Structure 1
Amino acid sequence: MYKITLFLECGSAKPCCLNCFCVCRGGKEFLSFDLDTVFDVNSMVAEVLFAILREEVKYVHTDADLLAMERTARGKKDMVLCYVQSLGTQEHRSIMETAYVYGSKHQFILITGGPVLKQLGANESSLSSRVWFLHCRIPGGFSTPTASERCPVTRMRRALSTLNLHSFLQLMEAPLVLEVDVDPSSVPPPQFPYQLTPQVFLFSRPATEHLDRDAAGALAWRLRGVALLLLVHRQSPAVKTPEEFNVAYRRPEKSSEVKYLTLHSLDEVSEIFLDQDKEEEEEEEEEEEEDESQFGKLNDEVAASVFENTGNLMDLDSITQLTSENFHSEVAQSSLTVVLFYLKWDAVSMAFLSSFIEVAEKLEESKVDDVLMSVVDCGEWTDLCAAQPSALVPFQPITEFPRVVLLRPQESPQYYESMLGSEALHRFIILSRTAAPVRLSTQEEVTSFLQEVPHGSQAGDRPDRVLGLFRSPTDASAFVEAAMSLRGEVLSGLLMDGPAEKWAAAHALHLPAVLAFPSWRTPAHPSALPAASSSAAELLSQVRLAMLHPMPELTVDNLPSFLSLGKALLLLFVGEEEDEIGQRQNQELVEEMRRAVELGGARMERYLACWIHLGSTPAGMSVLGSYLGYMPPLPALVLTHLPNREEVYQYPADNVVAAPSVLQWLQRIEDGAELPAGMLGADSWPPSAAFYDLLKVMEEAQEPESMQQPTPADEEELEEEEDLHVEEALVAEKVTDGSPEPNPSVHSEL
């Protein structure tokens, strides 16, 4: 486990690295960088990984160095040669993140120009980054394109990014030539991760099989990284292609249709794909240059978002700017005031401010006129943000930014704790406009409550609902308290007395009763929750649990809710589909997992079966890589987050995901017959130094001299401190001449 530390000052007699960025391992300094080399998030991640992956990523200066590495790797391991203009960039980070996953499989090499680039025939001035794959572990069965001592090279033709590099390496692992005995039209389109890769079909006859195989191998090397090549044996009765055609191809990104051609040379075949690929590559490079000219070296995502909008003055017409003078009057006049407390110099605040304005404009467009959207600049109105709670200022002092608070006259403040995005905030505000709970008195009102969508909701948005049935207000007190805590998350309704008894009798219920209506389930089949002796906290927990999907899709937004259950995750990773076939396959996998939950019955209650779509949640790719240490083929099923255990288990990749097989696999894990495929890392990084209150020191330094008259005891202490400082200065002077090991004593965690 590594720890990252930023050294700020040194009170030790030994010299320390001042203004440096250090990587520590086992409590000892492992490596340090000057702060000039870690100027943003990308450079920080890239440099740390570069330091850790010393064996996996080598830096070469000359072509002779590269040739020596090729000779060493010949027959053992393929190599990935990566060029970046400078270290610490987004491209450098993408390379290091990929090396972290694939470093045990391939040898990575990093260059920043020089003779190696010239030997590869690349122009340094026209490139920002590039990747080559060196096939040093030559596959058998097909001849190599050259008899040279150098390893055959395949260039990655797409722009350098983590996702493109991952796809490229997956493509390099595909067979050079695949031989089939069926007609090209019967060959299924390529599956993940090759689903967008064209397929080229050549035909072979028994009399010329050896020559056909050589031709297929030669063409496959030309199209390596561009298309998958298949050799079709005509002697098979399943091949129906007319004799006049000798080439066929399919472009899955456009259509699943197979096109047939009659060509006279391999050059004609390669031109079809290489010319179009060159055009796409030029378009990507133009887009990349456009992005670079726009953002320069600004790589931090949040800061880049702010920088992008620096020249665009935000339209504040849809929101009210609150100050210490107008805050109380504005809040008193509105039934619901949504306040964003922010800082102008905070990148996250400014990024969220644009989302906040977007929500205000949506509310205005949908004619929601009972909500006042407002902001407070806490950098200017510090007295308002730091005020202690009172009748005029009902909220706690604002200490974290950005912060959204919902205020209503004569009510306690409501705090927004969800994702900092426009969709989540908009939904929270719309649901918060409704009373919690809504008092219902007739059958018609109950029906309306369960079916109607709140005014201003987004299209297709169905909220979760909960309905309480009680005989008296006293019985309903715990439900009312829980409903207030759920405001903004769930719509709550309350039916009491005679109407409650009638409604309960019509639906075969006994009072008191609490019914949960999750958005993913039809209103005709609610979940009944125990309400007789439940406290508000218990009821709150039960409602939230009832709203969770039994086979949920995990996202960044809902992951904390599911992790809080404390169950082991039976997690299915599926790839991004580009057509109806892929969508259907993913749906079938999810249905098979749901069937496993049903077949398992009570024994499956300890697990949370769930899935991640890597297209809609790209962060899942990093999660999967961190679980196993490499990127497995998809779909991938893992068991992780076992209570009090760190093991990660992977379902056998060569087994079909079927409900009975999954249950047998889980039983083998419970019996201890399965070996873990990975381990969860320990995330406990306690601070190694006490908190240093810098603001308090600044305040003391700014106090008037009249308030700082020293007492005799203070003067004596001051003299001792001065002597100590002089002594430290003399020691530091002596240390400068030598070079003992740095041992900083005062630092803060970064």
Structure 2
Amino acid sequence: MTSTDEIMSCPMNSWVSCVALLLLCTYDTSVARNAKTLLELSPQEYVSSLQPGRASLVYFSREVSPGVRLFLEQLENSAGALQDYGISVVKVNCLQEDISRYCGKENTLRKAYLFRANVLLREFPTDALFDVNAIVANTLFALLFNEVKYITSLLELQNLENSLKGRSNAIFAYVPAVGTPEHRAVMEAAFVYGTAHQFVLTTEVELLKSVGHDASDPSSARLFFCHCQRVPDLSQPCRRTPMTQSLTTLNIHTHLKLMAAPLVTEVVEDPEKVSTAHLQLGLPLVFILSQKETYEADKRTAEFVAWQLLGKAGVALLSRDSVDLNVLLRSNVAFKTAEEGVPIKYLVLDDTEEIIALVEDNIKGELVQEGEDEEDEDERDNNDQDIQDDPVMEAVYRDRKWELPLDLIRTLTEETFDAALMASAHTAVLFYASWEAVSLAALQSYGEVAVELKGTQGISLAKLNCWDWPDVCLKHNVTHFPVTKLYERGAGAVTYTGMLGTAALLRFLRLSSISCPLKLSTIEEVEEYLSGEVWADTSSCRGTSVLGLFHPGMKEAREAFVEAGKELRGCVTTGLYAEDDALVLARKYAMPLPALLLARHEDHRIDSIPLSEESAPDIVQTIRSELLGTFPEITVENLPNYWKLEKPFLALFSDGALPPRLRAEMLRLARGKGHEAFITCWINLRNTPVGRGVLKAYFSAPPPLPLLAWLNLHASGQVFALPTSCLGWRL
């Protein structure tokens, strides 16, 4: 007898033991099995290994590129799970000269194949098999085609329920996307219970809304037990009982066992001795106390309550006439919890609403207690390092159901890449991996940027999946992902190095599409440039504009500035004025030529800087330093710009805006002797709450604010709290 057969044959009162036995057997089997369960065969060996009726998931391999290697790791990790369902996982090593049906296909590297014996059942793009859950879920979904019906509308669900009325029940599940852990859990349950119930699957959130369920969070999977077997009349609807727990394999098994239990259990013994499936599964049991004269009415009451509490608690009908307990004569309801040693409560309740409220209040109390226990455990562990990347993955998982405007983004291949770069003056290309969480987060931001740039002349957006086209990515020096590059027709590319957010990427693309430097020919154009009016329709460019002023004879300095402008493309707008009347502007801003003018549009201020060094790298360094500011506020977005300078931080931590006197003291320090050796900055903990985590990491107790700290993380990794007397202010 197989493990599946044993589960199906377990009696109700020993189901928990059966599940434990199955898990133990599965564990023992997986330990005993060779650690490497992915079979590697030649085409001839694979053909000779085929068995009638046995399924196999096969990947035909010619060469192992970086993308293929990652897929093979996931395939190997899934082999043990699929073998538990009698499915072999095979890698067929194709010879270069092999031109057989599958080894000879051009797109073999991007597909896996599911066979039953030698009959092909399904082709899977490797993109769809991005991890173990996706591989197991999609493979079982293909094999259980008859046991699991996929639907998209309420009419389909109603027609299917009508066909089952009086005969069988249905399990209706909504999952936000195929290949998720919840999809896998539903498929594994269908593998066990598919012969007992009709499984129905959808990924349509509108259908979830149609069945009357709250769909405010489309990323949460849902499962319903449709009671159609009890409905002999086609005009009556099937009741649907939602599963309140998360969709895991064990929770689904538990829910189905509860749905299979008797609606009302009639007992004739001491309640202390009664044990039902609900109690064994940790749920409470409600006794409706009855007697011979009111038996029919009490039974109807018990059935009504049982339907309301289905999946939450069991209901039993206890006859007072059969049990000699005086307490029964003074009560009409008894309440028994699954916890050992807790006495039964005997109550007098006025109506069914009070009975239902009794159970729901008990459930709420347990949830509150569980939450408090989890908080206590988190405080004891006090270890946030284990979830470094979880916020990114969780955000992607939560938002993956939202439709991205990918119709505004061109999908590139090896054949179309070069032609696409020539189709527009500027083409942005996102190099990503379709299975990787950070890439998917970047793709979401990229889609939002596409919406913002819709209709913008001269800028087109494209994407290339490095999983499918690794050679193209390597050719363009993409060795990690995601990476965004902006290509100018007939010129080179600029690589984006900023944050993944929409605003930062949008600003980069808009700035990069502007000529750098922008050559100006009249003083009127210069004044318009410095005022920011030239960017009136492009808010992303209204930060700081840089203007280089040169006499026509300053050829070397002018050429160095042009090179610097190209280097700073995408970071800041640069303009160039090198006419005969440049001296007029030099006198106006009291600065000898050559000079830089920095128009800080947000502050309505123009700063002038002499160019003592005339090499392009020196000009770039001067402009970058000026853009950083004298006493900047550090945020999550701008921290990388300061961090890569590899200087110590003299940081003032403040709980809110700085008082004028304190700001003046810090500015005096930032402009003082030796200030070039470190970065003087401040962190507003209200704007950047992550700063509190920094203080918590380095100080045993939260220090009083404001706090002046020396952060030398690049060299010695030391953090010092400086006395407030350093600045001469009084707290």
| TM-score scaled by length of structure 1 | 0.45
**Higher relative contact order (CA closer than 8 Å, sequence separation 6+):** 1
Bigger Rg, structure 1 or 2: 2
| TM-score scaled by length of structure 2 | 0.46
